[in-house]
């Protein structure tokens, strides 16, 4: 579905992408990881037809630069840094929907699923929304149309647990019929969402590996934690994960999204000295 052949991109004399060969097929969910300056964003911009480059890129057999309409009509893109658009949210949705040949209501539906009160924000300038709200809006615009190629730059970074669950569910619904390219500078952020990992380093592909694909994206896990003593800093973190405390503040319980387990455990390691015991089991009832 996506094929890169000898793609090289240089800015003045600095080579940012160095002779990249890559092929991604339908059903593949690729984590594109690497440190800052590895070339992830440049690769994405080449794929979106925004940069000129040496070599060739074909998306569904078409050059994204020469056939922008046909290629980008299939691409849902969520950037890492939301654009500072001064236009009202409603105007952005109408513009994107009209260009993509879909109904604004589809995008609005996903926005509301993600927890946005669309009626309240539609007249607000996009730039005035909080980081999480902007992310939710951009995800809604990317998912609220017939895109079978999803390119997302740290898409869930600013989402609350509830919204992350909805986001993972949306990904799960599309995983068989789409190609997903999810970038992050940390693998643990996206590892559970993907079945292939590509690591970039100094403009080259340093690692290209298939990974186990048996995590249920929509699964939810019940977690109970007992502490050796209450701690305000720990309480603040647990509240962010929407966990509830016991009356004495010594125990916390709540739900963790399946794909977020690794992330949750890495948060807990910061408080290893406080945790007396913990139990985690799949919650069949869901959220």
- Contact footprint for other proteins (CB under 8 A): 45, 48, 50-52, 68-73, 75, 77, 79, 81-87, 91, 95-96, 98-100, 138
CA angle, residues 62, 64, 69, in degrees to nearest 5 = 90
Residue 27 vs 125, nearer CB to other proteins: 125
Contact criterion met (CB below 8 Å) for 93 and 106? no
Are residues 278 and 224 in contact, defined by beta-carbon separation less than 8 angstroms? yes
Q: How near is the Cβ of 19 to other proteins at its closest, in Å?
A: 19
Please identify, using beta-carbon distances, which residue of 77 and 243 lies nearer to other proteins: 77
Q: Smaller CB distance to other proteins: residue 141 or 166?
A: 141
**Residue 237: CB minimum distance to other proteins, A:** 31
If residue 75 lies in a helix (H) or strand (E), which one and from where to where? strand 75-78
Taking the complex as a whole, the smallest distance from the CB of residue 224 to other proteins amounts, in Å, to: 42
Shortest Cβ 248–other proteins spacing (Å): 48
d(CA 153, CA 23): 19
Closer residue to other proteins, CB minimum distance, 104 or 161: 104
Nearest approach, Cβ of residue 13 and other proteins (Å): 16
- Tell me how far CA of residue 1 lies from CA of 23, 24, 142, 162, in angstroms: 8, 6, 18, 32
Nearer to other proteins, 156 or 197 (CB): 156
**What is the full DSSP assignment across 98-125?**
HHHTS-HHHHHHHHHHTT--HHHHTTSB
């Amino acid at each position: 579905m996506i094929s890169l052949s000898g793609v090289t991109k240089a800015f003045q004399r600095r080579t940012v992408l160095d002779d990249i060969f890559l092929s991604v097929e339908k059903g593949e969910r690729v984590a594109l990881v690497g440190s800052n300056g590895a070339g992830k964003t440049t690769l994405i911009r080449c794929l979106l037809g925004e940069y000129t480059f040496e070599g060739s890129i074909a998306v569904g057999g078409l050059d994204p630069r020469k056939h922008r309409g046909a290629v980008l009509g299939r691409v849902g893109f969520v950037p890492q840094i939301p654009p500072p658009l001064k236009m009202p949210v409603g105007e952005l949705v109408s513009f994107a929907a009209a260009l993509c040949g879909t109904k604004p209501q589809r995008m609005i539906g996903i926005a509301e699923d993600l927890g946005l009160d669309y009626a309240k924000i539609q007249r607000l300038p996009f730039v005035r929304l909080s980081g999480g709200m902007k992310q939710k809006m951009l995800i809604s615009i990317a998912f609220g149309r017939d895109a079978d190629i999803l390119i997302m730059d740290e898409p869930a970074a600013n989402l609350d647990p509830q919204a992350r669950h909805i986001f993972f569910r949306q990904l799960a619904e599309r995983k068989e019929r789409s190609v997903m390219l999810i970038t992050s500078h940390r693998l643990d952020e996206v590892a559970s969402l993907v079945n292939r990992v590509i690591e970039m380093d100094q403009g080259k592909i340093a690692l290209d590996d298939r990974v186990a694909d048996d995590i249920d994206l929509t699964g939810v896990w019940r977690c109970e934690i007992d502490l050796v003593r209450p701690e305000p800093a720990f309480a603040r973190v647990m509240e962010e994960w929407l966990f509830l405390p016991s009356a004495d503040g010594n125990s916390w319980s709540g739900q963790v999204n399946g794909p977020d387990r690794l992330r949750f455990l890495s948060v807990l390691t910061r408080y290893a000295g406080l945790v007396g015991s913990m139990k985690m089991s799949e919650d069949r009832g869901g959220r």
